[in-house]
Amino acid sequence: MKRNEWTAIRANLFKRRWITTSKGFIPAALLALLAVAIWQIVVVAADVPAYIVPSPAEIMAELLAESSWLAADLGWTMLEAVLGFLIGSCTAFITAVLFVHVRVVERAAFPWAIVLQTIPIVAIAPLLTIWFGYTLVPKVIIAAIICFFPVLVNTTRGLRAVSNQAMELMNVLSARKASIFWRLRLPSSLPYVFAGLRVAATLSVIGSIVAEFTGADRGIGYVIVQASYRIDTRLMFAAIALSSLAGIVFFHVIGWIEKATLRWPEARLDED
Amino acid sequence: MSPRDVGSGIVLDSVGVTFGGENPVIALEDVSLEIPAGEFLAIVGPSGCGKSTLLRVVSGLLEPTVGTVSVHGKTAEQARSDVEFGFVFQDPVLFPWLRALGNVLLPDKILGKRNPTHGPQTEELARRLMRDVGLAGFEEHYPAQLSGGMQSRVALARVLIYEASTLLMDEPFGALDEFTRDRLNLQLLDVWARARTTVLFVTHSIQEAIFLADRVVVLSPRPGRIVHVATVPFTRPRPLELRYEPAFGSLTSRLRSLLETDGES
């Protein structure tokens, strides 16, 4: 009884929290507006040179003026990010399934997954560029590497987040391993998987941009590097704003897919 | 009790269960029981007397440390893999991503052709079972949208769908209010009278045990040992009013005193 009351209360909290967060973007938007306004006023009032800090209005103008080719670069970066995200997440998911079913694999491979995680990607990126040139490949690999770990850890945890009694229920029904996986482990892991995917989505954009720094002939990272050579801060700010926007959009796309997939109440973890 | 009955029933022979570790806990000690097929056996005892452990041993979920268990002439493990058991846990253990009806149908989905009721009419059966336990109209609700009592009833409908020959019930109605509990007790007796399954029913409530069972096993805590096995003399069908009869009351207090004296020793 007590336990069920608690779930009911939690469900209620979740609901309320969801309402507050869905309307909750308003304070955040107001704060951003305020910050932009202050920025604009300070830059204009103090007469800060545009090559040091451009005003928001100038950045906006730059964005609009250069929008056509900036959009092409953004598209290229997002292609790298999404490909890396898909490859990294799928590999991580399969690895997690292996970890959960074959303990030896986990013992053998998990320490190396941590090692992979601790190697700074900025250190691997130039190497990959030497191997694969100014192509798509090193960017996709970097994005995939950066997505791998959060998805691996979350999926492993999710696949294990099965209560003993639920396992006993399956055992009493003499369920086969495949049946336990499809009917119990996989659905109960999905909220965790999506939590990992949301993190991976934003990271993949960062990964592909960082990879572009080390050698590219297009993409947002390339734009930033080129603009920095020319001390074109307006363009740099425009590129930064675009890449951040792209990350946010990717994050929310995953959120929408999650909402469409996980239909049952209380399914989603860390709602905000 | 004829030997033929015992052979087709459940036999526990000096079963003991010790949970290991540095401070081993004896959960069950020297438990011997013969449960003829079709008997309704209740097991009562205070918390920590190994009631749940006993059910897990019978169902083959847990290997006893010593002693043997035989179910319909097979080992418990064999009987489990032949899906002879229906287990109702303390918690409802519903899958939150399945609607109530989906949860009731889960055993059928897992068992497929191994389910004796498997076929095009299975869903109709699931709907009927849900009506029987008073859940008509809640088929499409998710577990999180149901009260605790309703969740327990979904769990009951779920175990009934595959007509297991032995029902193991671990305080299945512990979370329910008295009225719902009474109603489900009657329904359970009804199901049992029709299907003649063997039932092992663990409960805290001595009254519930006597009302339901043919025999009541009284367990003592730490280590879990059989203190007494009482045969319930009342004829069936038993009306709910039976519980207010003097004979019922005196049996209740006799069993209660057994539990209390043992608790002091």
**Contacts of residue A14 in chain B, CB cutoff 8 Å?**
none
Q: Would you call B81 an interface residue with chain A, using a CB distance cutoff of 8 Å?
A: yes
Q: According to the model, what pLDDT value does residue A6 have?
A: 57
Q: According to the model, what pLDDT value does residue A1 have?
A: 43
Mean pLDDT, rounded, for B5-23: 81
Total Cβ atoms within 10 A of residue A258 = 19
- Per the CB < 8 Å rule, is B148 touching A3? yes
Smallest Cα–Cα separation from B110: which of A171, A264, A161, A98? A171
Smallest Cα–Cα separation from A127: which of A112, A138, A116? A138
Residue A66 token pair: 């250069």
Q: How far is the alpha carbon of A173 from chain B, nearest alpha carbon, in Å?
A: 6
Residue B32 predicted with pLDDT over 60: yes
Residue A11 token pair: 């469900």
Q: According to the model, what pLDDT value does residue B6 have?
A: 46
CB-nearest partner of B87 from A169, A175, A179: A169
Nearest chain A residue to B167, by CA: A172
**Contacts of residue A170 in chain B, CB cutoff 8 Å?**
110
Q: Could you give the strand order of the β-sheet that contains B10-19, starting from the edge strand earlier in sequence?
A: B25-35, B10-19, B66-71, B74-75
Residue B103 predicted with pLDDT over 60: yes
Q: According to the model, what pLDDT value does residue B69 have?
A: 94
- Per the CB < 8 Å rule, is A174 touching B97? no
- Per the CB < 8 Å rule, is B95 touching A187? yes
Total Cβ atoms within 10 A of residue B43 = 27
Q: According to the model, what pLDDT value does residue B31 have?
A: 92
CB-nearest partner of B80 from A1, A5, A171: A171
- Per the CB < 8 Å rule, is A265 touching B87? no
Q: According to the model, what pLDDT value does residue B115 have?
A: 87
First to last CA, chain B: 33
pLDDT tens digits, A9-50: 555 555 555 555 556 678 888 999 999 999 999 999 998 888
Q: According to the model, what pLDDT value does residue A16 have?
A: 54
Mean pLDDT, rounded, for B104-112: 94
Most B CBs within 10 A among A168, A169, A171, A263, hence the mutation to make, goes to A169
**Contacts of residue A264 in chain B, CB cutoff 8 Å?**
96-98, 142, 144
Q: Would you call B109 an interface residue with chain A, using a CB distance cutoff of 8 Å?
A: yes
Residue A125 token pair: 């990126």
Q: According to the model, what pLDDT value does residue B43 have?
A: 95
pLDDT tens digits, B34-64: 999 999 999 998 877 788 899 999 999 999 9
pLDDT tens digits, B199-245: 999 998 999 999 999 999 999 887 888 989 999 999 988 988 999 99
Q: According to the model, what pLDDT value does residue A172 have?
A: 95
Distance, in Å, from the CA atom of B34 to the CA atom of B67, rounded to the nearest integer, reads: 14
Residue A240 token pair: 């930064």
Most B CBs within 10 A among A10, A168, A172, A266, hence the mutation to make, goes to A172
Most B CBs within 10 A among A1, A2, A4, hence the mutation to make, goes to A4
pTM: 0.82
Q: What is the ipTM of this complex?
A: 0.89
**Contacts of residue A5 in chain B, CB cutoff 8 Å?**
148
Q: What is the 3-state secondary structure (H, E, C) of chain B?
A: CCHHHHHCCEEEEEEEEEECCCCCEEEEEEEEEEECCCCEEEEECCCCCCHHHHHHHHCCCCCCCEEEEEECCEEHHHHHHCCCEEEECCCCCCCCCCCHHHHHHHHHHHHHHHCCCCCCCHHHHHHHHHHHCCCCCCCCCCHHHCCHHHHHHHHHHHHHCCCCCEEEEECCCCCCCHHHHHHHHHHHHHHHHHHCCEEEEEECCHHHHHHHCCEEEEEECCCEEEEEEEECCCCCCCCHHHHHCHHHHHHHHHHHHHHHHHHHC
Q: According to the model, what pLDDT value does residue B1 have?
A: 41
Residue B188 predicted with pLDDT over 80: yes
Smallest Cα–Cα separation from A92: which of A151, A43, A49, A18? A151
Q: How far is the alpha carbon of B240 from chain A, nearest alpha carbon, in Å?
A: 24
Q: What is the mean pLDDT of chain B?
A: 89
Q: How far is the alpha carbon of B80 from chain A, nearest alpha carbon, in Å?
A: 6
Q: According to the model, what pLDDT value does residue A15 have?
A: 56
**Contacts of residue B89 in chain A, CB cutoff 8 Å?**
165, 168-169
Can you list the residues of chain A whose pLDDT is less than 50? 1-2, 272
- Per the CB < 8 Å rule, is B97 touching A264? yes
First to last CA, chain A: 29
Give SS3 for A64.
Answer: helix
How many cross-chain Cβ pairs, A to B, lie less than 8 Å apart?
73
Banded model confidence at residue B255, pLDDT cuts 50, 70, 90: very high
A 178-237 → B contacts, CB under 8 A: 179, 183-184, 187-188, 190
B 34-63 → A contacts, CB under 8 A: 56, 59, 61
pLDDT tens digits, B110-151: 998 888 888 889 999 999 999 988 899 999 999 999 988 899
Q: According to the model, what pLDDT value does residue A272 have?
A: 42
